[in-house]
Amino acid sequence: MEKSKETAAQRIRSVCRYIERHYEEPLTTERLAGIAAMSRFHFARSFRAVMGVTPKEYVSGVRVRALKRGLRDGRGVDGAIYDAGYGSPSRVYERAAQRLGMTPGEYRRGGEGVEISFVSVETQLGQMTIGATDRGICFLQFGDSQEALQAQLRREYSRATIVELPEPQPPFDAWVAAVNRYLAGEAPHLELPLDIRATAFQLRVWKYLQAIPYGDLQSYGEVAEALGRPGSARAVAQACGHNRVALAIPCHRIIRGDGDLGGYRWGLERKRTLIEMERAHRAART
């Protein structure tokens, strides 16, 4: 199909495929706009409308995924960095905390050299485990048993030093108290320090979820529309599914367009309970 006959969305997706094949090369917005046969301004605006992120953010996300593959495959850190298209290791380390949640070497070694402390407590939603690095909470999940939650934490960080605290100590005691206040309807705004890994799009979805008012619900499609990516409800659902910190990123406030609850990694009964709880507490305050 000739460029002149392609829609803007088709051109953008073609550029995305090009990025995924050539991420190790210099990929400026000007170069990508030329591939799409668009002006730089029109390309940047169209790319964000179709993909939900800027061209630079998309390239960065592709390179981070390539870097992670290289690190997991056992390549040397510097080799994996250059193979992923980064000009120097320093650029990666500057963004490591945001993109990897730890340095590239630590990630390649499954969290080796990283210490994660955790506590498990009983809540009205069942067992809850909170795990945190010195940067913030990297794991906040619910389950039916402490053993299952701890096993999940150890799988996620297979070579990290995992330290169980016998009881909540500072700052864990404050975090547990904040969660309990939230579940009791006493503190609708749950603000916790997070240390999470995410793609650019996942971060946009998660930040948007944090802005949804307490007790409100939106559909996956509405979130996609709000982010400038109509038709990408499935991608929004996938971003919700990758959330590792329940409540702090309130993916329970997202449902299907037909009113069905949709999915929830911690169980639909917990999702229903959270929705009903928030609505009841909000109504009681009005």
Residues 95 and 206: their CA atoms lie apart, in Å, by 18
Residues 31 and 52: their CA atoms lie apart, in Å, by 20
Q: Is 240 a known active-site residue?
A: no
Instruction: Give the H or E element holding residue 123.
Output: strand 115-123
Burial of 129 (0-12, 13-18, 19+ CB in 10 A): buried
Computed on alpha carbons and rounded to an integer, the radius of gyration of the chain in Å comes to 21
Q: How many CA atoms lie within 13 A of 227 on its CB side?
A: 32
Contacts of 72 (CB under 8 A, 6+ apart): 108
Per-residue pLDDT of the chain (286 residues; tens, 9 = 90+): 444 557 888 899 899 889 888 877 888 999 999 999 999 999 998 888 877 778 888 887 777 767 666 655 545 545 555 455 454 444 544 454 444 455 555 555 555 667 899 999 999 999 999 999 887 898 999 999 999 999 999 988 888 889 999 888 888 999 999 999 999 998 888 888 888 877 778 888 998 999 899 999 999 999 999 998 898 999 999 999 999 999 999 999 999 999 999 999 999 999 999 999 999 988 887 6
Q: Which two tokens mark 62?
A: 């592709």
Give the per-residue pLDDT at 76: 52
Angle between helices 200-211 and 233-241 (to 10 degrees): 90
Give the per-residue pLDDT at 256: 94
Q: How far is CA 103 from the centre of its chain?
A: 17
Contacts of 85 (CB under 8 A, 6+ apart): 23, 24, 25, 27, 63, 66
The closest of 13, 53, 58 to 36, measured between CA atoms, is 13
Give the per-residue pLDDT at 284: 82
What is residue 240's three-state secondary structure? helix
| Ramachandran angles phi, psi of 66, nearest 5° | -65, -40
Contact 188, 278 (CB under 8 A): yes
Contacts of 122 (CB under 8 A, 6+ apart): 128
Annotated catalytic residue: which of 16, 138, 240, 251?
251
Domains of the chain are: 3-108 (1.10.10.60), 115-183 (3.30.160.70), 200-285 (1.10.10.10)
pTM, two decimal places: 0.64
